[in-house]
Structure 1
Amino acid sequence: MGTEGLPIPITVGGPGAGATDRTRERTTARSAFPFKMPLKREMWSSVAMDAAAVVLAALDVWLVIPDKAPSYSLYLSALACLSLVFRRWLPFVVVLGTVPGFLTGWSQLAAMIALGMLATRKQMHWKVWAGATLVWACRFIQWPLSDFAELSWREHAIDAIYAVLVAGMPIAIGLLIGARAELAQRLGELAASRDRERKLRDDAVRAEERARLAREMHDVVSHDITLIAMQAGALTAAPGSANALETAQTIRTLSTRTLEELRSLVGVLRSGAHDDGPQPGIGELDQLVQGSEVPVQLSVDRVPEQLPAKVSAAAYRTVQECLTNVRKHAPGAAATVVVVGKEETLTVEVSNDRPRRPATPLPSGGHGLTGLAERARLLGGSFETEPTEDGGFRVRASYPVDP
């Protein structure tokens, strides 16, 4: 804390965070039902295509039907056109339903549409070839049969060729559509497989990195802290002044507590669990303030009873880091800690006045406030730092309390 070593303000969230939160809420609301709009759009598209198929088939019949056509052929042709409504659910039955109208009437386009849907759904199934045979026969045979018998062999050959085209074109289009759909499915499966492989590779890399960090922390940091605790224990047993014994006891207590937290963290790293394990919270702020060796005025007001564990831990870590910075960068300065719950938001503000004596240079990577800012960002809150007019420093963090 203080003005030394911490000159750069860090802001996460801030005034624009409200708009960002509203945008996030709208995005969450839209993604709550991800299949509602696509299903509705697909349904209306299917209805439109079915209606278009019926209209085109009926128009084809109306354009070619003669003036003095038998009534039964007109009814069978109309039935063939209307049966196209069910072509998505009963494709083979619909093909059979179009055969009478095509054979005795003029529902050729209806039969071709039904056969195309059958080929799209069934691909190389025997029903496709059976339907193709029926459509071919309806195009080749003329009704009534007496007129068909009077045709010459040339006319029969021409009708057979045209019948192949009438039955073959819908099958070709249906097979092409089916092959395209299968290819799209295979590409989707391939993309999903690549994503799984990438995730597994990333998990393996993270596991290896966690194991390496756990080894380093255990072999280096844990060893040094253990030696500190042992030396402090030896000092408490040796004769000396009361202040020296109290200082040694404090060092031993702090090093033992740090060693326990370090071992817990090493266990989390080795297990690869997402949970951070048991964390101190707002309930331990009194104990933290008492052991901080900094004159602190603590105020906790309107804190919700059902406070999320991560928010409580974030508030504790914020106060802990700020008091540590006061002790390092502003020796002799007094600090004020205010924790307030307001409108589903927990606000933590830590401020200190100017230092009373020069600070002793200590190793510092400058990552403490950056880590607090990242923690606030991950929880959807905000984090701000600024120097005060009297030469001190102020940190303000806000966290949403809605789990």
Structure 2
Amino acid sequence: MTTEGLSFLRISVGGPGAGAADRTRRPADAAGRAHWFAAPALRSLAVDAAVIVIAVLDFWLVFPEQAEPYSYVLSAAACVALVARRWFPFLVVLATFPGFLAGWSQLAAMIALGLLATRKQQHWQVWFGAGLVWVGRFVQWPLEDFVARSWREHGLAAIYGVIVAGMPVAIGLLIGARKQLSARLVELAASRDREQQLHAQAVRAEERARLAREMHDVVSHDITLIAMQAGVLSVSNTSAEAQQTAQTIRQLSRHTLEELRSLVGVLRSGVEDDGPRPGISELDQLVRNTDVPVQLTVERVPDELCSKISAAAYRTVQECLTNVHKHAPGAKAVVRVLGAADGLHIEVRNEPAREPVSGLPSGGHGLTGLAERARLLGGTFETSSTDDGGFLVQAHYPMRLMSDEEDTAEIAIEQPSKV
């Protein structure tokens, strides 16, 4: 009785202290053990070996010299059975019971019961296993010695039995509850992310609808009036130059209305690929319709270029030529579009202004929009002044083909709108 009591006290008191020491050493040893425990098989093997060694030491240190051989065999078998505790936790508890009842493998039974409680929680197998551990601690083997005990010794053994059986069950239930709480927190975090995404999508949809209304009601109406006035001008003025100017205004107005209707459709539907996109193949027409003298060079651009990259190149050249017309009237522009192994390069260079600068309105957002477009497509955008007083715009886009277009995510669609 005294030896068993000392064994239990050593387990109860020494266990938490050992755990605290392990937690203290863990940060310092984490880097050194990371490689060894990287493989799950090695980690499981190391844990199994440590558990068996601790369980063997538990009964070997308190094993009396005059004990029966079968007690030694049953205790050793209980320790070896711990290897299968992950796959058959309930059977392992049953296997450790004889070694605890007729031997000295108390810690082996407690370890098996703790894992069973962690896996099964409040299952009937847990309470049955706890009952077996309590019996193994309460009953003294051989039975003649158990019957010869006094009622005080029976009462003390019953109390010790409750503690020995209750402690691993309590620890197992606590570990299981912690795992359930962690899983619930992960679910709540995922649910919160989904709600935030839905809210962001609703905000974007509302902003798209508002922009579509404004563009249709205001911009479309004004462009239609411009086209109508150009028609009136072509009828009322017989000058060839006026006729050509009016015709150019009408063509540009119709083209702008077509793009505006396409953009309104995109905003309404929320589908980025809806509607036609101008590309590099239409740069010749863009240069012909602009009032800026342009030298255009397009080299080594594949025909199957991704429509997003092609449209970005077109918009870059279009915005640069518009800026030349507004801020450097009369200046010549040189446009180079070059396909290379590392991507598509666009360079637009213009001379200083040769005529007085007109007072056309400017929001100052054109170059900013081009930089954002390049960043979203994985490219770069740079601007600088030239030595002769002109301006240089350089853009670089990754060389993506049409086969890669479906796999390319549009980052701008996933970004929450700033309302």
Considering the TM-score relative to the shorter chain, is it more than 0.5?
Answer: yes
For 1:225-262, what per-residue CA distance to the aligned partner results, in whole angstroms no more than 9, with x for missing partners?
11112222333344511111111111111111111111
Match of 1:316 in 2: 314
Match of 1:253 in 2: 251
Inter-CA distance 401–58: structure 2 relative to 1 (3 Å threshold): same
For 1:142-170, what per-residue CA distance to the aligned partner results, in whole angstroms no more than 9, with x for missing partners?
22223322222222222111111110011
> TM-score, normalization: structure 1?
0.86
Give distance in 2, aligned partners of 1:43 and 1:259.
67
1:124-203 aligned at under 5 Å gives the runs: 124-203=122-201
1:173 counterpart letter in structure 2: I
Q: Displacement of 1:138 after TM fit?
A: 1.1
Match of 1:101 in 2: 99
Give distance in 1, aligned partners of 2:371 and 2:153.
86
Question: What do you get for the CA RMSD once the two structures are aligned?
Answer: 2.0
Give distance in 2, aligned partners of 1:48 and 1:277.
62
2:202 counterpart letter in structure 1: A
Q: Displacement of 1:184 after TM fit?
A: 2.0
The correspondence for 1:326, drawn from 304, 321, 324, is 324
* Residues 110-119 or 153-162, more deviating: 153-162
Instruction: Name the SS of the counterpart of 2:353 in structure 1.
Output: coil
Give distance in 2, aligned partners of 1:231 and 1:44.
82
Instruction: Name the SS of the counterpart of 2:364 in structure 1.
Output: coil
1:190 counterpart letter in structure 2: L
Aligned positions, number: 366
Q: Displacement of 1:42 after TM fit?
A: 6.1
Instruction: Name the SS of the counterpart of 2:344 in structure 1.
Output: strand
Match of 1:83 in 2: 81
Give distance in 1, aligned partners of 2:199 and 2:269.
17
Inter-CA distance 366–43: structure 2 relative to 1 (3 Å threshold): farther
Match of 1:293 in 2: 291
The correspondence for 1:121, drawn from 119, 122, 128, is 119
2:58–2:107 CA contact under 8 A, matched in 1? yes
Structure 1 unaligned spans of 5+: 1-36
State, as a whole percentage, how many aligned pairs show the same letter: 69
Instruction: Name the SS of the counterpart of 2:331 in structure 1.
Output: coil
2:111–2:168 CA contact under 8 A, matched in 1? yes
Match of 1:353 in 2: 351
2:215 counterpart letter in structure 1: M
For 1:261-320, what per-residue CA distance to the aligned partner results, in whole angstroms no more than 9, with x for missing partners?
111111111112244643211111112112122211111122244422221111111111
Give distance in 2, aligned partners of 1:47 and 1:229.
81
Give distance in 1, aligned partners of 2:47 and 2:272.
49
Inter-CA distance 43–237: structure 2 relative to 1 (3 Å threshold): farther
Match of 1:52 in 2: 50
Give distance in 1, aligned partners of 2:345 and 2:354.
28
Q: Displacement of 1:348 after TM fit?
A: 0.3
Q: Displacement of 1:47 after TM fit?
A: 4.2
Match of 2:68 in 1: 70
2:360 counterpart letter in structure 1: L
2:78–2:105 CA contact under 8 A, matched in 1? yes
The correspondence for 1:230, drawn from 228, 251, 266, is 228
Give distance in 2, aligned partners of 1:179 and 1:273.
45
1:366 counterpart letter in structure 2: G
Q: Does 1:272 align with 2:284?
A: no
The correspondence for 1:382, drawn from 380, 383, 403, is 380
For 1:322-380, what per-residue CA distance to the aligned partner results, in whole angstroms no more than 9, with x for missing partners?
11111111111111111112222111000011222112110001111111111111122
Instruction: Name the SS of the counterpart of 1:384 in structure 2.
Output: strand
Give distance in 1, aligned partners of 2:48 and 2:170.
20
Instruction: Name the SS of the counterpart of 2:214 in structure 1.
Output: helix
Give distance in 1, aligned partners of 2:361 and 2:263.
22
Instruction: Name the SS of the counterpart of 2:363 in structure 1.
Output: coil
Give distance in 1, aligned partners of 2:210 and 2:333.
38
1:118 counterpart letter in structure 2: L
Instruction: Name the SS of the counterpart of 1:318 in structure 2.
Output: helix
1:234 counterpart letter in structure 2: V
Q: Displacement of 1:215 after TM fit?
A: 0.8
2:265–2:275 CA contact under 8 A, matched in 1? no
> TM-score, normalization: structure 2?
0.82
Inter-CA distance 340–111: structure 2 relative to 1 (3 Å threshold): same
1:393 counterpart letter in structure 2: F
Give distance in 2, aligned partners of 1:190 and 1:263.
42
Q: Displacement of 1:40 after TM fit?
A: 4.1
Give distance in 1, aligned partners of 2:82 and 2:273.
57
Match of 2:109 in 1: 111
1:51 counterpart letter in structure 2: A
Give distance in 2, aligned partners of 1:150 and 1:306.
96
Inter-CA distance 281–40: structure 2 relative to 1 (3 Å threshold): farther
1:259 counterpart letter in structure 2: L
* Residues 202-211 or 250-259, more deviating: 202-211
Match of 1:32 in 2: none
Q: Displacement of 1:208 after TM fit?
A: 1.2
Instruction: Name the SS of the counterpart of 1:67 in structure 2.
Output: coil
Q: Which has the higher contact order (CA 8 A, sep 6+)?
A: 1
2:87 counterpart letter in structure 1: W
Structure 2 unaligned spans of 5+: 1-34, 405-419
Instruction: Name the SS of the counterpart of 2:296 in structure 1.
Output: strand
